[in-house]
Amino acid sequence: MSETVQAPPARQRRASLGSSEGEDIFGTFDKGVATRFLEIMQPHKRSFFLAVIAVLVSAASVVTIPALIGRAVNAAVARDGDLLDQTLIAFAGLIVVYATAFFTEQWLSARLAQRVIFDVRRKMFDHFQDVSLSFMDKTHVGRIMSRLQGDVNALQEFLESSTGAVGDIAMLIGITGVLISMDWKLGLLTLTVLPLLIIVRAIWLPFSKKSFRDARDASSTANSALAENINGVRTVQESRREAVNFELYKEKTYENFAAQAHASWMTQIMVPTVDVLTGFAMAIVIVVGGNAVLGGRLEVGVMVAFIFYVQRFFDPVRMLSMQYTIMQRAMAAGHRIFEVLDVKVAITDAPDAQPLADVPATVEFKNVTFGYDPARPVLHDISLKVNPREVVALVGPTGSGKTSIIALTHRFYEVDQGQILVGGHDVRDVTLDSLGKTIGMVLQEPFLFTGTIEENIRYNTAGASFDDVVDAAKAVSAHEFIMRLPDGYQTKLGQRGRNISMGQRQLISFARALVADPQILILDEATANIDSFTEQAIQKALKVLFSGRTCIVIAHRLATIRDADRIVVLQQGRILEQGNHDELMATGGLYSHLYTSAHASFDDQVVATTGDAEFATRT
């Protein structure tokens, strides 16, 4: 997500990607963030101190060099060859010391930054693997990626330049001390430009904040529009919206261009300002110092050294000005990163949690009430038991609670009231790892990862052999299409498996579940994206897959679950009726009406037969 037009420094652009809307990235110093950041740096404190030592040596070398030049000039004026030779030798040695210290500081700072950022990224990734789905449901993926990338990059930039800031401060102190020690009157006169620089900076800062904030917001808007259109390119092309979308995007990019150009202009104001002040300071040295030299009150070498010191004095001033902005972005980035790391992991193992082992493959709901928003329950007092090796189908209109039931079975969420038992044990009293191994799931929209087909089939069963993978693929009728691919099982899949069809992705997810060999198998609309011909083969494979397992199946196409041992009909989070296909057909209830309406969809027929069009927004 890079900019295509000139922005306020590249550092500003990276930080803006990590900024959440409405936040001021130029906030004040946050002691709490700094303290926690130092805790992360604790394992790397040795590298940090070595880098600081190196930068101090480098700064001391820089401060000493002009003095040696002045000494060399005085030696040349006095025609003192020995002193000149000694000075040149010392100068050469100092250059070697500076080069060595500078290289060491740069190398240590870069390595330190990479190690700390590696720790931060690892902590964030590990935390995101454990946070509850309720958090993920409410958080935009783009913002998560922003914090993993943009905010972490802002911290990295700060780390890489933080030791340099120590050197800049040391240089300012050193140069000020040397100037005053060499000639205190001329030194103080030269430094009179500093108050003017502080005043200009104070006037410039509020305008620059607003400019940078506008640039960040415009960049965020343009990038969001770009990402949205790329992700929805299929719909764009289906609707022939290319021209309209281009005009809308052009408007956003122009706004971004204008904002970035203005921010860039605001940034560049300080460069000529510092240069002008440097010129004033140089003029003072030349006029006042030159008269002093002519009057015999000042050596030529001292004046030459003054000129070099004035030139060098404003370099750390300029760098510290930039470092201040970098530090503020790092504070904001650190705040957002720690905000994520502080998100409570709601679903965790209880202190005395026990693994599920050698237990009957049963699932039981006891008076379960649950809502993604506790104020709006999705399930109301559900009681249901799935016996060992029983195939139970859940049917019902959108919003009836089918998917919520299977999510709770896997303990993706916690119930508000009641109890869920797997193998006779409350899911809150067993380890999550053992629960995941006991329950296998195949979802309506399978998620395949970048990698080979073999790796995807073995995704949750790393110990499976290649023969196990092939046997599973054959059982679900995936082997033939896999072998037709150029590299067979070693065919690389693109992002989310988009280089194969939806039906083929679903077959691979079936094979993945079969290799895992769970005691309890859950299918959530798993045949919805498979054509009728493939579905016939899948139905045969499912009979083998269901054999010896407890199965819970969600399906809209009722013909696919007519052979289930029991069919549970849900409506608005309550069990309306249950029984096998023949029993439900004999009762003449909702299921019977739905099954006999071969040409109506499930949701349409519910409305037609019950007059109820009020469904919840979550399944």
Task: State the pLDDT confidence band at 143, using cuts at 50, 70 and 90.
Answer: low
Q: Could you tell me the CA-to-CA distances from 383 to 14, 368, 378, 428, 441 in Å, in that order?
A: 52, 7, 14, 17, 22
Average pLDDT over residues 454-471: 84
Task: State the pLDDT confidence band at 375, using cuts at 50, 70 and 90.
Answer: confident
> Model confidence over 22-45: pLDDT tens digits?
344 344 566 777 788 888 888 888
Angstrom distance (rounded) from CA 543 to CA 318: 74
> Model confidence over 293-318: pLDDT tens digits?
888 788 888 888 888 888 888 788 77
**Backbone torsions φ then ψ of 369, nearest 5 degrees:** -125, 135
Angstrom distance (rounded) from CA 357 to CA 528: 33
The mean pLDDT of the chain is 78
The per-residue pLDDT for 283 is: 84
Q: Which helix (H) or strand (E) holds 524?
A: strand 520-524
The per-residue pLDDT for 383 is: 92
Strand ranges, E, within 412-508: 417-422, 425-426, 439-442, 451-452, 492-493
pLDDT for residue 555 is more than 60: yes
The per-residue pLDDT for 29 is: 61
pLDDT for residue 327 is more than 50: yes
Pick from 183, 212, 156: nearest CA to 284: 183
Q: What is the pTM of this model?
A: 0.63
The per-residue pLDDT for 141 is: 54
The per-residue pLDDT for 609 is: 46
Helices (H) and strands (E) in the chain, counts: 23, 12
Angstrom distance (rounded) from CA 414 to CA 369: 10
pLDDT for residue 614 is more than 60: no
Average pLDDT over residues 264-282: 77
> Model confidence over 364-373: pLDDT tens digits?
999 999 988 8
Angstrom distance (rounded) from CA 314 to CA 277: 9
* End-to-end C-alpha distance for the chain, whole angstroms: 34
The per-residue pLDDT for 356 is: 83
Q: Which helix (H) or strand (E) holds 22?
A: none
Return all residues near 428 (Cβ < 8 A) that are at least 6 apart: 350, 411, 414
Angstrom distance (rounded) from CA 444 to CA 523: 8
The per-residue pLDDT for 531 is: 64
Cβ neighbourhood burial of 295 (10 Å; 0-12, 13-18, 19+): exposed
